[in-house]
A = this chain, B = another copy of it.
Amino acid sequence: AGDSIAGRTVMVKCQSCHGKDGVGRAMLVGGEAPNIAGQKYDYLVHSLMAYKAGERKSPMMSLAVKKLSDEDIANVAAYYAAIKITVEPPPP
């Protein structure tokens, strides 16, 4: 299931683009990283594993995942999934 506390040490590698809080920042390569705060755990794991397997490609992420073990992926996914977000309901 992933250990969100252990994921904090993995997060250090992600935070320059995704923030400690999971809010995407402007990247040196241009564009903004997506928000991942409070994202579904399974979706985060699936995305990271897809980058690792080369099924999904991105100049930044394809490189970033090379340093991550499957356990790192589970733990950092748990870290970002655990961040609480509140969504303002759209107008009716």
Residues of chain A at the chain B interface (Cβ within 8 Å): 20-24, 31-35, 37-40, 42-43, 55-57, 79, 82-90
Separation of A56 and B89 alpha carbons in the complex (Å): 29
**Out of B35, B42, B55, which one reaches A40, CB within 8 Å?**
B35
A90 touching B86 in the complex, CB below 8 Å, given contacts A35-B40, A40-B35: no
User: How many copies of this chain does the complex contain?
Assistant: 2
Q: Closest B-chain residue to A82, C-beta based?
A: B90
Q: Closest B-chain residue to A40, C-beta based?
A: B32
Separation of A56 and B62 alpha carbons in the complex (Å): 14
A-B contacts, 9 of them at CB < 8 A, read A21-B90, A32-B42, A35-B38, A35-B40, A35-B87, A37-B87, A38-B87, A83-B88, A84-B88
A90 touching B83 in the complex, CB below 8 Å, given contacts A24-B40, A40-B34, A57-B55: yes
